[in-house]
Amino acid sequence: MTIGLLRSNKGVREITDTYKVKNVIKKSIDENSNLAGPSVTVPSDTIISKGARANQHFVLSVSLHHLGQYREAAQCVETAISIYNTLVKKEPEMFNADLAQSQDALGFYLFSLNSYEEAAGAIQVAIDIKQKLVKQDPNHNSRASLAFSMANLSENLHRLGYYEDAVVSIEAAIAIYEGPGMNNLDEYHDELARSQQTLGHCLQHLGRYEEA
């Protein structure tokens, strides 16, 4: 399953000492600290401080997943999702992308727990949000993010035996990767290749060997 959420967050991707990062972030959350710096005081009920707290939970969830603590990671990112769900009601443009990323993360953690039905549900929420974001700004990053989620959804549907639905989802991802402005970008070639491989597996399960 594609770890798209880690590719979209440079700070998370470059974590090298997971235990240290986990402890630092957990301490920060426990102390209700903010990300603006020690010299700046931000009221705990402001949108900025709530967004910072949600981000802390998200980053901690990634560290927990790296440690193999999948259930704890899921619980942690669910806290982030709960906060973001509140924030998007007031500032959707500011927090919709963060909410979608957190839903993607929840889907990935549930996949690691073999909870494919729940994972598919979490990823579908991310897809619904990302489709709206693409309509607002159809740049290649937003479309690639949507394709990541569709590919991940297909993987879960495949594990559940919903091969027809899995084909629909992965074909949608492939269509994005092969679409205008995307097919010439080298950074997406590996994702396209993986998606085509997933499509082949799904088609084989459906007995459509020539198409596979």
pLDDT tens-digit map of 142-186: 999 999 999 999 999 999 999 999 999 999 999 999 998 787 778
Residue with tokens 């193999």, as numbered in its chain: 68
* Separation between Cα atoms, residue 36 and residue 48, nearest integer Å: 9
Q: For residues 54 and 49, what is the distance between their CA atoms, to the nearest angstrom?
A: 9
At 212, the pLDDT band (50, 70, 90 cuts) reads: confident
C-alpha span between 102 and 179 (Å, rounded): 26
> Which residue has better confidence, 53 or 25?
53
Report d(CA 158, CA 112) in Å as an integer. 15
Query: What per-residue confidence (pLDDT) applies to 40?
Result: 44
| pLDDT in the model for residue 181 | 78
Q: What single-letter DSSP state applies at residue 174?
A: H
Q: Is the pLDDT of residue 69 over 70?
A: yes
Interatomic CA distance for residues 54 and 81, integer angstroms: 7
User: What pLDDT was estimated at residue 23?
Assistant: 55
Sign for the CA dihedral angle at 99, 130, 72, 33 comes to negative
Rg (CA), the chain: 18
Residue 73 has pLDDT above 70, yes or no: yes
